[in-house]
Structure formats: C-alpha cells, structure tokens
Structure 1
C-alpha cells in the first residue's frame, strides 16, 4: 500500500519506512509528488499532524501519513514543543539544528531541572475527509545535556541523554534508535491500528 508522507525530511522518511516495512507500506514524500508543505498553526503535535495528513491526502488523492514531533522540556513549560524545528528562528536566529541546540543550551544555562522528552504524534488518514484518523503518540523520556555528545541522528539528538541507555540519542546506532525512540513507540501503536482498522499486514 502506498502512503504519502507529509514531510520532505529524508532522514525521517528512512526512519519511518524501516518502521512500517513489516506491513508492506511504501512511503513516498509529498515533495516527490510536487506537493507543498501544509500550514501548521496549532499548539499541539496531534492537531498539526492531522492538518498535515489531510493536506497531503487532499493534494495527492492517496492515503497519507504525517508525523509531528519535537522536544518538550519540563523547565520550559513544554517548550520548544511544536516550534522545535524553528526554535532559534523564532528568536531571530537561523533555522538549523545547530542554532536550535545552541539556543536551548543558552536558555537552560544554570537550570538544574533538565528533564525532557521527545514527543511524536503519528496520524494516518485514508482520505482528506477521513472521519476516523488513526492517531498514535510516543514519548521518549530523557534529560538535556550541558553540551552535545554523539555524531548521529538529527535535531536535538546530540543534547538528549537517555539515562536508561547511558548515552545521548546521537550516540546510539540507527537500529537501537529505531527500536526505542518516540517515533518507534508511536509507530508500534500505529502498526496495531493499521492491522486492526485498515486490515494491513
């Protein structure tokens, strides 16, 4: 079954394709179909993921899958949240992983409470008017380091330390990350829904 992925992030495509491979799902990015990005005006991951999925399905005529994910830091009241990818940009900086990480370290300087979590909302729709979207949420608990560690991953991975693994996300292999991440946890829930509701796999 072919689904449009409401993202143009190549690394996210690889990660999600590996997670959903057991169901025989083929993901194609909306960009490869000439579909532009949807507006993301909402304050929650679920609402933005649903908006993106409906947009991709409406423009392509195909079922769609959308991911909205980011970092939620306790000491910052859940920020950067849905603004994770634009955290530095919102403060007048550039839109880049390095700039976002630098701003986070600056904002948390001297803060004792470093608890945080990666959050992922996955939403799948059969059509843009699907009255029963499949919704899954995954949370990966950790704490923010005082400096980057590791060379893998993307986004805030170098700053996110997973105590149970004794390493930053950026120091984990792709295989380990795919089994334990917030996206993996959400995908496990979504796979169960794909099988039960869409009768896949």
Structure 2
C-alpha cells in the first residue's frame, strides 16, 4: 500500500459539494485539496462497465494532466432484482435535457421492479469506489458498500439521489430520513473514505 506523502491532493470532480466534503476531510491532515475544475480539466469519457474502471479513468487522467496525485470516485446503486442495474449508469437514469432528475429515476426504478413483478424486499446496495492515482501510473483502490432495500413510496426530504428510496439494513428509516451524520456513519461513501484514510493517510 503506497502512502500519500504530498501536500496537495487533486480531487477529480466538478461537483462543488463533493469537493467541499474532501476539503473538510483533508484539512486536519494539513493537505490542500484542489479540483479538476480549478485546473480546467475536461471530464473524461467513462467507457468502463464497472465502478473501479471508471474511477481509474478519472483519477489517472487528472494525475497525468497535472502531475499531482489525484483522487476520483465512481458510485451508484445496484438492485438485485434488476440484475445489478442501474449500477454504473445510476446517474444516466436521472439525466434529462435540463439536468438530473432523481425523482424521475426513482419512478423509473419502481416501474421496472413492478414490470418484473419482483417480490419484496427489493434488495439493493449503494457502491462507492475511490481510486487514488499518482502521476507515475500507480494507484490504490478502496471500496465501500451500504446494503439495504428499496422502499415505495419514497420517504424523507434530506439527502440527494436515491436516498429517499433506500433503507439501509438494520434501520427502519431511509437515508433521506436521517441526519447527514447518521447517514455518513452507514453510507457507502463513508466506508470507502474510511478505508482510504486508513490505507494511505494514517
């Protein structure tokens, strides 16, 4: 496992919320976080059919372009009764001409489950893959999962994406009914970040 020994980490994202999250995580470690947008990096085409492959594309493209270690993530929802869909296409299911509409994506997911007469519980899991890549081509991979089931109708007003439809195992609430701290303690991203910090930063 290669340790991170630099002072600046590039997070390969154009998402302001995700960038701020990593800035808060890295601040106590004295690590400056910069973004793909700040380096005018284009978003590379994600051509892989798995989370690790797409995260690697983003991390290595950023590291090669800037000469900085780069961190990228790829995440999504896998539904057992839909053979793992939407998976790496989770965001694509929400795409509209005017932006992403996850209410529509949840409706689509429920419709597909209904079409298949899939029996409940609708087992599902959130997946998050983080890849930390160095300019010399080396990388480290960290994965996190949140197992649970989908519910209908959706519940809760907090969070984003599929949070109102996802009930984590061992709880009666959806992610969207939890506080940010409660969700982070159970979330796929929280698990992946914990593994990243233990593997490369502690």
TM-score, normalised to structure 1's length? 0.87
Name the count of aligned residue pairs: 193
Residue 158 of structure 2: which of 149, 152, 155 is its match?
152
- Residue in structure 2 matched with residue 130 of structure 1 by the alignment: 137
- Residue in structure 1 matched with residue 109 of structure 2 by the alignment: 104
Q: Give the distance between the partners of 2:11 and 2:112, measured in 1 at CA.
A: 33
- Residue in structure 2 matched with residue 139 of structure 1 by the alignment: 145
1:62–1:87 Cα change, 3 Å: same
TM-superposed deviation, 1:94: 6.6
1:81–1:32 Cα change, 3 Å: same
1:103–1:26 Cα change, 3 Å: farther
TM-superposed deviation, 1:70: 0.3
String of CA shifts for 1:5-54, please: whole Å, max 9, x gaps: 11112222233334444433332221122111011100110011011001
Structure 1 unaligned regions, length at least 5: 196-200
| Bigger mean CA deviation after superposition, 24-33 or 62-71 | 24-33
> 1:93–1:99: 8 Å Cα contact kept in structure 2?
no
TM-superposed deviation, 1:141: 0.4
Over aligned residue pairs, what C-alpha RMSD do you find? 2.1
Q: Give the distance between the partners of 1:191 and 1:59, measured in 2 at CA.
A: 24
Q: Give the distance between the partners of 1:108 and 1:93, measured in 2 at CA.
A: 26
Structure 1 stretches of 4+ moved >6 Å: none
Q: Give the distance between the partners of 1:14 and 1:175, measured in 2 at CA.
A: 15
- Residue in structure 2 matched with residue 39 of structure 1 by the alignment: 45
Q: Give the distance between the partners of 1:106 and 1:26, measured in 2 at CA.
A: 44
| Bigger mean CA deviation after superposition, 104-113 or 35-44 | 104-113
Q: Give the distance between the partners of 2:46 and 2:145, measured in 1 at CA.
A: 21
> 2:60–2:134: 8 Å Cα contact kept in structure 1?
no
1:81–1:178 Cα change, 3 Å: same
Structure 2 unaligned regions, length at least 5: 1-6
